[in-house]
Chain A
Amino acid sequence: MNWGSASEFFAMGGYGLYVWGSFGVTAAALLIEVGLVRHRLAAVRRGLRRELAADRDTQD
């Protein structure tokens, strides 16, 4: 184990800003991408369902 305490862990031997800036932005970027992609698929499905429902209504 490298760390004596939680504050030592977050300080990263004085490189905290750089290390957490790297890991934090990477994690945030991947989470945002997942959110955007989920939203994109959900949106196209919603639009298509609506279109198909409208088609069915006009046929009836």
Chain B
Amino acid sequence: MSQRLVNWFKFASPASFYPLAGKMWPWFAALGTVLAAVGLWISFFVAPTDFQQGEGYRIIFIHVPASWMSMFIYCVMAFWAAIGITFNTRLSGMMSSALAPTGALFAFLSLWTGALWGKPMWGAWWVWDARLTSELILFFLYIGYIALTAAIDDPRRADKAGAIVALVGVVNVPIIYFSVKWWNTLHQGASVSMTKAPTMAATMLWGMLIMALAFWMYSIAIALYRVRAIILERERHTTWVAELPEMQR
């Protein structure tokens, strides 16, 4: 067998993932900052004024990326939940817990920017529309996950219970995504489609994609940072934590 084959289960150990996450997060944070600067520049100075919505459409540059992240992070949480239940790895539950607050934040931002966009364009902050309601349910699923795992004292049992919520709740993600097709809604259809040519100006599309990448890098960086805190909180009585260089003085 090749020596270069990576043993992925090695990184499933908190003791080896803690320093690895510490080395990785600054790169993602730096990349996220650069992408956000470029994305904001395009959002405000390159993308033209929309002929229907004027300057109000510029909310799209955070609304769509935040909505994508809220759905994507939930899928990643469900992925770690499945790994945790299958292989009984400790790190999986920690990864899910590290992602949940950021996912909840993006779900909130999706609803918030949506309300601020809906008011001038539809005349309402909120409507009980299929897209909006399913996104609200996603936000509640995040809150439910956080509340449930926080209420159970034993972290391993909390991970198991949380994993069930993550796995059951993930059915809501395709419901959000296809809600604009399945139901007659006020919300506009998908902005970007895999099957059709984009319907928006190329600069608008690029701005949105770069902002989405910036949010992506931000999410990875913050989750890696948070998982380090979670690892220390849970492994506080182990020798490897006591032997960490930052614990000496």
| Min distance, Cβ A54 to any Cβ of chain B, angstroms | 12
> Among the listed B101, B109, B249, which residue makes an inter-chain contact with A26, where contact means beta carbons less than 8 Å apart?
B109
Q: Is the CB of A2 within 8 A of B54?
A: no
Chain A proximity of B143: nearest CB distance (Å): 15
A40 partner residues in chain B, CB cutoff 8 A: 226, 229
Q: Are A22 and B101 in contact (CB under 8 A)?
A: no
Give A21 to B62 CA distance when docked, in angstroms: 11
Distance in Å: Cβ of B218 to nearest Cβ of chain A: 7
A32 to chain B, nearest CB (A): 9
Residues facing A in B86-125 (CB within 8 A) are 101-102, 105, 108-109, 112-113, 116-117, 119-120
Which residue of B has the minimal Cβ distance to A18? Answer: B116
B178 at the interface (CB under 8 A from A): no
**A-B pairs with beta carbons under 8 A, tally:** 90
B116 touches A33 (CB 8 A): no
CB pair A22–B105 under 8 Å, yes or no, is no
B59 and A18 form a contact (CB under 8 A): yes
A37/B229 in contact, CB under 8 A: yes
With A22-B113, A23-B62 known as contacts, the answer to whether A13 contacts B55 (CB < 8 A) is: yes
Query: Does residue B232 face the partner (Cβ distance < 8 Å to A)?
Result: yes
Which residues of the partner chain B approach A33 to less than 8 Å between Cβ atoms?
A: 101-102, 105, 222
Which one, A13, A17, A29, A38, contacts B109 given CB within 8 A? A29
- Of A1, A44, A52, the contact of B45 (CB 8 Å cutoff): A1
A45 in contact with B59 given A33-B222, A52-B242 (CB within 8 Å): no
Q: Are A18 and B117 in contact (CB under 8 A)?
A: yes
Task: List 17 additional A-B contacts (Cβ < 8 Å) besides A18-B119, A38-B225.
Answer: A2-B44, A2-B48, A3-B45, A12-B58, A13-B56, A15-B54, A17-B116, A19-B116, A30-B105, A30-B218, A34-B222, A37-B222, A37-B226, A41-B232, A45-B247, A48-B232, A52-B242
